[in-house]
């Protein structure tokens, strides 16, 4: 099993550009989430999904969209990048509600 795979690992965007962060898991997990990690802020939930076709907002959803057309994939779209979105983004998945997450290795995004 590859676990949770995130691409790209690094990305630099200009303000106003859009892009999609890819996330795929091969563990047949129903639950998937996107977190961002900023210094001194811990991990904050952006969006999550409890199964194909079902998504919902987390703590900091503004400026981001998600979709879940398959169990395996959960891409995160930045609609119009802003410097405040400079962060490290982690995708995570888990098999059910009362289980721990498996995290990907992260995408380091810089918006200039």
Partner 1 sequence: GENVEQHPSTLSVQEGDSAVIKCTYSDSASNYFPWYKQELGKGPQLIIDIRSNVGEKKDQRIAVTLNKTAKHFSLHITETQPEDSAVYFCAAPRGGSQGNLIFGKGTKLSVKP
Residue 2: CB minimum distance to partner 1, A: 13
Which residues in 30-69 contact partner 1 (CB under 8 A)? 31, 33, 35, 40-45, 48, 50, 56, 58
Q: Does 100 bind partner 1 (CB under 8 A)?
A: yes
- The tokens describing 104, both together, are 């990907």
Residue 85: CB minimum distance to partner 1, A: 19
Residues 6+ apart with CB under 8 A from 64: 34, 46, 47, 76, 77, 78, 79
Q: Does 90 bind partner 1 (CB under 8 A)?
A: yes
Q: Does 22 bind partner 1 (CB under 8 A)?
A: no
Q: Which of 11, 82, 86, 101: binder of partner 1 (CB under 8 A)?
A: 101
* Number of residues binding to partner 1, judged by CB under 8 A: 26
Pairing between β-strand 107-111 and β-strand 10-13 as defined by DSSP bridges: parallel
Q: Does 87 bind partner 1 (CB under 8 A)?
A: no
SS3 string, 4-22, reads EEEECCEEEECCCCCEEEE
Q: Are the beta carbons of 66 and 75 closer than 8 angstroms?
A: yes
């Amino acid at each position: 099993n590859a676990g949770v795979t995130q691409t790209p690992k690094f990305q630099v965007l200009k303000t106003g550009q859009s892009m999609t962060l890819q996330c795929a898991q091969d563990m047949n997990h129903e639950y998937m989430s996107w977190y961002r990690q900023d210094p001194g802020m811990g991990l904050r939930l952006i969006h999550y999904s409890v199964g194909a076709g079902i998504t919902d907002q987390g703590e900091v959803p503004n400026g981001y969209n998600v979709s879940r057309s398959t169990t395996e994939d959960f891409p995160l779209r930045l609609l119009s990048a802003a410097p405040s979105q400079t962060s490290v983004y982690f995708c995570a998945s888990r098999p059910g509600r009362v289980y721990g997450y498996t995290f990907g290795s992260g995408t380091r995004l810089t918006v200039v």
